[in-house]
């Protein structure tokens, strides 16, 4: 049984290359390493080509989006489980060995979707530990409740995930009509919905918060996705509303029903209410201009908050009308996707 370590890499620093060197030294019978470099940096490419390791597969390609680079690297994986590595973070080789041992024990248990451990978190001023709890519950609603109660950065994507589940989840996100920064949350939502998550009691992943450490940095990252999607940055005002709606529609979809084979409606209600509360309470009101998009999204938010009840289908229609003001084709595409999922 092997775990495929997936390393899509774009950075050209020595530390980025160190991720490949460390992972390439792992037991070839337990791990394979997929490195997909899209940096277009000749010096880095030459260095990577010098790594002699029987467990490493190196692919160098033209520059492409980070998500596309990950998806293409995932397609090369052959392990029963896959583990995503970011080239600015670090993993513990001892932690990975323990993770592999538990994965090998669980390989034949279809109820297990992911295996993870504790996380060491780095900020500019402090270091700390984080570990999820309650994700091993046989009850999906309990798993989702525990995940949402943690109310922290989404670390769950950095787990050993059954390859079939990772492939299914990434293919779904790849099919979405817009690419938003919260879509890693939808991937984790699928993991929680479709399998138990086992944990080992030691650090596996070292995560540097980086730009996500501050509200300003997070907003900048989020808004870049709206700009890349061709939407005015003021649509970021509706960030958690988009997240609430998409997760709820996903959980109520035939796509999930065919795999889950249980009533996911309580999960959809919990997801929507949690994310809708974020939409109501989180302050994203900085840096907007006096534009039509600013007026439209602000008025939309105010009208929505004044309503007593929110109908999911009605909300989709209203959001699509709003999207069509800025992107006519995109609004229609958004409606067609979510209304027929």
The DSSP annotation for 82-134 comes to EEE--TTSEE-HHHHHHHHHHHHHHTT-TTEEEEEEEEEEE-SS-EEEE---S
Q: Does one domain contain both 128 and 25?
A: yes
User: Which pLDDT does position 160 carry in this prediction?
Assistant: 97
- Cβ atoms 44, 112 nearer than 8 A: no
Q: Is residue 11 part of a domain?
A: yes
Q: Does one domain contain both 202 and 302?
A: no
Q: Does one domain contain both 52 and 187?
A: yes
Confidence class of residue 312 from pLDDT cuts 50, 70 and 90? Answer: very high
Could you give the CA distance from residue 274 to residue 268 in angstroms, rounded to a whole number? 10
First vs last C-alpha separation in the chain? 35
pLDDT tens figures, 114-136? 999 999 998 888 899 999 999 99
Q: Is residue 199 part of a domain?
A: yes
Q: Which of 177, 212, 247 is the last residue of a domain?
A: 212
User: Which pLDDT does position 144 carry in this prediction?
Assistant: 98
Q: Does one domain contain both 288 and 161?
A: no
Q: Does one domain contain both 185 and 136?
A: yes
User: Which pLDDT does position 149 carry in this prediction?
Assistant: 96
User: Which pLDDT does position 300 carry in this prediction?
Assistant: 95
Where in the sequence is the domain holding 287, given as residue range(s)? 232-339
pLDDT tens figures, 150-181? 988 899 999 999 999 999 999 999 999 999 99
User: Which pLDDT does position 216 carry in this prediction?
Assistant: 86
Q: Is residue 223 part of a domain?
A: no
Q: Is residue 222 part of a domain?
A: no
Percent of the chain whose pLDDT exceeds 90? 79
Tell whether the model's pLDDT for residue 139 goes beyond 90: yes
pLDDT tens figures, 276-285? 999 999 889 9
More confident: 1 or 215: 1
User: Which pLDDT does position 19 carry in this prediction?
Assistant: 84
- Cβ atoms 203, 117 nearer than 8 A: yes
Q: Does one domain contain both 200 and 256?
A: no
CATH of the domain at 137: 3.90.550.10
Q: Does one domain contain both 75 and 29?
A: yes
Helices (H), 229-327: 239-251, 254-260, 265-281, 292-305, 312-326
Q: Does one domain contain both 197 and 258?
A: no
Residues 6+ apart with CB under 8 A from 125: none
Q: Is residue 226 part of a domain?
A: no
Q: Does one domain contain both 38 and 97?
A: yes
Q: Is residue 169 part of a domain?
A: yes
User: Which pLDDT does position 335 carry in this prediction?
Assistant: 97
- Rounded to 10°, the helix 265-281/239-251 angle is 180
Give the number of other CB atoms < 10 A from CB of residue 212.
Answer: 17
Q: Calculate the CA dihedral of residues 20, 23, 29, 31 and round it to 10 degrees.
A: -90
- Rounded to 10°, the helix 312-326/239-251 angle is 130
- What sign results for the dihedral spanned by CA atoms 125, 128, 134, 136? positive
pLDDT tens figures, 56-98? 999 988 888 888 889 999 999 999 999 999 988 889 999 999 9
User: Which pLDDT does position 66 carry in this prediction?
Assistant: 82
pLDDT tens figures, 242-273? 999 999 999 999 999 999 999 999 999 999 99
Q: Does one domain contain both 171 and 246?
A: no
Structure tokens at 171: 């293919």
Could you give the CA distance from residue 69 to residue 5 in angstroms, rounded to a whole number? 14
- Cβ atoms 250, 183 nearer than 8 A: no
244: exposed, middle or buried (C-beta count within 10 Å: 0-12, 13-18, 19+)? buried
DSSP summary character for residue 248: H
Could you give the CA distance from residue 241 to residue 245 in angstroms, rounded to a whole number? 6
Tell whether the model's pLDDT for residue 210 goes beyond 90: no
Average pLDDT over residues 198-203: 95
Average per-residue pLDDT for the chain: 93
Q: Does one domain contain both 259 and 196?
A: no
Q: Which of 212, 241, 268 is the last residue of a domain?
A: 212
User: Which pLDDT does position 65 carry in this prediction?
Assistant: 80
User: Which pLDDT does position 209 carry in this prediction?
Assistant: 84
Percent of the chain whose pLDDT exceeds 70? 100
Q: Is residue 152 part of a domain?
A: yes
Q: Is residue 218 part of a domain?
A: no
299: exposed, middle or buried (C-beta count within 10 Å: 0-12, 13-18, 19+)? exposed
Average pLDDT over residues 38-43: 91
Q: Does one domain contain both 94 and 242?
A: no
As for how many domains the chain has, the answer is 2
Alpha carbon 302 to its chain centroid, in Å, reads 29
Q: Which of 180, 212, 244 is the last residue of a domain?
A: 212
43: exposed, middle or buried (C-beta count within 10 Å: 0-12, 13-18, 19+)? exposed
Tell whether the model's pLDDT for residue 15 goes beyond 90: no
């Amino acid at each position: 049984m092997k775990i495929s370590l997936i390393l899509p890499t774009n950075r050209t620093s020595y530390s980025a290359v160190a991720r490949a060197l460390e992972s390439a030294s792992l037991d070839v019978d337990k791990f394979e390493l997929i490195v997909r470099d899209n940096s277009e940096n000749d010096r880095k490419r030459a260095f990577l080509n010098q790594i002699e390791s029987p467990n490493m597969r190196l692919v160098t390609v033209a520059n492409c989006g980070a998500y596309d680079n990950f998806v293409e690297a995932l397609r090369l994986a052959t392990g029963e489980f896959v583990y995503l590595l970011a080239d600015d973070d670090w993993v513990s080789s001892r932690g990975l060995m323990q993770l592999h041992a538990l994965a090998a024990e669980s390989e034949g248990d279809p109820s297990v979707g992911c295996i993870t451990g504790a996380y060491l978190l780095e900020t500019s001023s402090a270091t700390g530990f984080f570990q999820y709890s309650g994700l091993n519950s046989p009850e999906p609603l309990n798993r989702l409740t525990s995940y949402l109660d943690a109310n922290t950065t989404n670390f769950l994507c950095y787990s050993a995930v059954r390859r079939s589940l990772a492939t299914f989840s990434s293919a779904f996100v790849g099919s979405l009509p817009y690419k938003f920064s919260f879509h890693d949350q939808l991937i984790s939502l699928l993991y929680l919905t479709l399998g138990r998550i086992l944990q080992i009691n030691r650090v596996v992943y070292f995560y540097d918060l980086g730009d996500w450490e501050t509200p300003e940095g997070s907003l900048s990252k989020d808004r870049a996705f709206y700009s890349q999607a061709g939407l005015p940055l003021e649509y970021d005002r509706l960030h958690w509303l988009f997240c609430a709606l998409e997760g709820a529609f996903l959980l109520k979809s035939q796509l999930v029903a065919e795999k889950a084979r249980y009533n996911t409606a309580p999960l959809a209600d919990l997801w929507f209410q949690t994310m809708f509360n974020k939409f109501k309470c989180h302050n994203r009101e900085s840096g907007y201009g006096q534009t039509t998009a600013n007026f439209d999204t602000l008025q939309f938010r105010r009208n929505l908050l004044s309503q007593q009840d929110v109908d999911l289908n009605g909300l989709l229609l209203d959001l699509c009308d709003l999207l069509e003001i800025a992107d006519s084709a995109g609004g229609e595409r958004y409606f067609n996707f979510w209304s027929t999922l």
